[in-house]
């Protein structure tokens, strides 16, 4: 697909979405938010795509909202009302990522600040370069965390750590993020792309319907009751049990051979 602020490529079952405004540390403009949403939707539509990578071009993952986008208004002393941008652009993107029935690997290549940090947190798994950092930068410009950070961060690192990051706005280096469970793995910068492709490639070989449904169940588990989750698991198992991949998995076990999942 043709975009101007991001790159989209799909190969071997893996779609790679690269935020591509390196001169602005991949800060998010309105167009970029809309293009990211369209790319996530395309990855959902394309049945050959079974896993997704989200990463950034250049030295940053994403510096959050492009603060220069509204510079003229601020220079005149205006304070634009920002709720509608969240409602119309950021929130649909975050929901699309979480509702995508395919796993998303965040390949965090550098600083992830503000809404850029939120996008990293909205991924299912995160591999970080040793030079990456995570910054809840909102407070530094008098704003509140948005784009799902208030949901994802305390679930990942606990209330006190999340509050510390959000109140103080300090950057959390990759190695500390790994210790706190915010990222799955840290690798040297030069190994990040390969590590992310390997992980996503492996995910793309798995039973895609079951993985998508597992993601749904995990999401439900983050906010639902035990009853909700048990119901979701029941629905999920009904769905997964009817897939060709379930049949293949059991046959492969009985025939003592590795399974060949097709995602169907
Ligand atoms: O709709 C709404 O507005 C509500 C939604 C809000 C969501 C949010 O994301 S609010 C938070 C917005 N983001 C920030 O406040 C982070 C701002 N950036 C920084 O604090 C720093 O740039 C970093 C800590 C991320 C990186 O620092 P450093 O020293 O490595 O880089 P730098 O020199 O500051 O930036 C390099 C270039 O990127 C520079 O360009 P220039 O001036 O040399 O041409 C800088 O202006 C540009 N840049 C960095 N961040 C942004 C940006 N340009 C526009 N918007 C940015 N967010």
* pLDDT tens by residue, 193-234: 999 999 999 999 999 999 999 999 999 999 999 999 999 999
Indicate whether 1 pLDDT > 90: no
Smallest CA separation from ligand 1 atom 21, residue: 63
Q: Quick one: pLDDT at residue 45? A: 98
pLDDT in tens, 173-189: 999 999 999 999 999 99
pLDDT in tens, 47-103: 999 999 999 999 999 999 999 999 999 999 998 899 999 999 999 999 999 999 999
Contacts by 73-77, CB closer than 8 A, 24 or more apart: none
Ligand 1: residue of 5, 20, 22, 25 to mutate (most ligand atoms within 8 A of CB) is: 25
Q: Quick one: pLDDT at residue 245? A: 98
pLDDT in tens, 148-158: 999 999 999 99
Q: Is the CB of 119 under 6 A from ligand 1?
A: no
Closest ligand 1 atom to Cα of 147:
7
Starting at the edge strand that comes first in sequence, how are the strands of the sheet with 60-62 ordered? 60-62, 111-113, 133-135, 171-173
Kindly report the average pLDDT of the chain as a whole number. Answer: 97
Q: Quick one: pLDDT at residue 43? A: 98
Indicate whether 2 pLDDT > 90: no
Q: Is the CB of 261 under 6 A from ligand 1?
A: no
Q: Is the CB of 32 under 6 A from ligand 1?
A: no
End-to-end C-alpha distance for the chain, whole angstroms: 24
- Dihedral over alpha carbons 168, 58, 153, 65 (to 10 degrees): 70
Q: Quick one: pLDDT at residue 93? A: 98
Q: Quick one: pLDDT at residue 220? A: 96
Q: How far is the CA of 262 from the centre of ligand 1 (A)?
A: 42
Q: Quick one: pLDDT at residue 187? A: 98
Question: With bands split at pLDDT 50, 70 and 90, how would you rate the model's confidence at 169?
Answer: very high
The answer to whether the pTM exceeds 0.95 is yes
Confirm if 28 and 116 have CB atoms less than 8 A apart. Answer: yes
Closest among 54, 100, 93, 45 to 216, alpha carbons compared:
100
Smallest CA separation from ligand 1 atom 52, residue: 24
């Amino acid at each position: 697909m043709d975009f101007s602020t991001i790159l989209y490529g799909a190969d071997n079952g893996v779609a790679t979405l690269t935020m591509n405004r390196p001169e602005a540390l991949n800060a998010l403009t309105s167009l970029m938010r809309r293009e990211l949403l369209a790319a996530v939707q395309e990855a959902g539509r394309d049945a050959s795509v079974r896993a997704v990578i989200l990463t950034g071009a250049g030295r940053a993952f994403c510096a959050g909202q492009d603060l220069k986008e509204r510079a003229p208004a601020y220079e005149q002393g205006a304070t634009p009302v920002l709720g509608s941008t969240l409602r119309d652009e950021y929130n649909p993107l975050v929901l699309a990522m979480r509702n995508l029935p395919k796993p998303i690997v965040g390949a965090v290549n550098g600083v992830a600040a503000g809404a850029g940090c939120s996008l990293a947190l909205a991924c299912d798994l995160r591999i970080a370069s040793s030079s990456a950092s995570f910054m809840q930068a909102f407070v530094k410009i008098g704003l509140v965390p948005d784009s799902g950070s208030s949901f994802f961060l305390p679930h990942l690192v606990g209330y006190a750590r999340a509050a510390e990051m959000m109140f103080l706005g300090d950057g959390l280096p990759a190695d500390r993020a790994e210790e706190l469970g915010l990222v799955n793995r840290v690798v040297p910068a030069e190994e990040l792309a390969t590590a992310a492709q390997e992980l996503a490639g492996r995910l793309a070989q798995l039973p895609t319907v079951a993985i998508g449904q597992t993601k749904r169940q995990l999401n439900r588990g983050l906010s639902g009751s035990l009853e909700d989750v048990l119901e979701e698991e029941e629905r999920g198992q009904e769905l997964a049990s009817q897939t060709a991949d379930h049949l293949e998995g059991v046959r492969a076990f009985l025939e003592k051979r590795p399974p060949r999942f097709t995602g169907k």
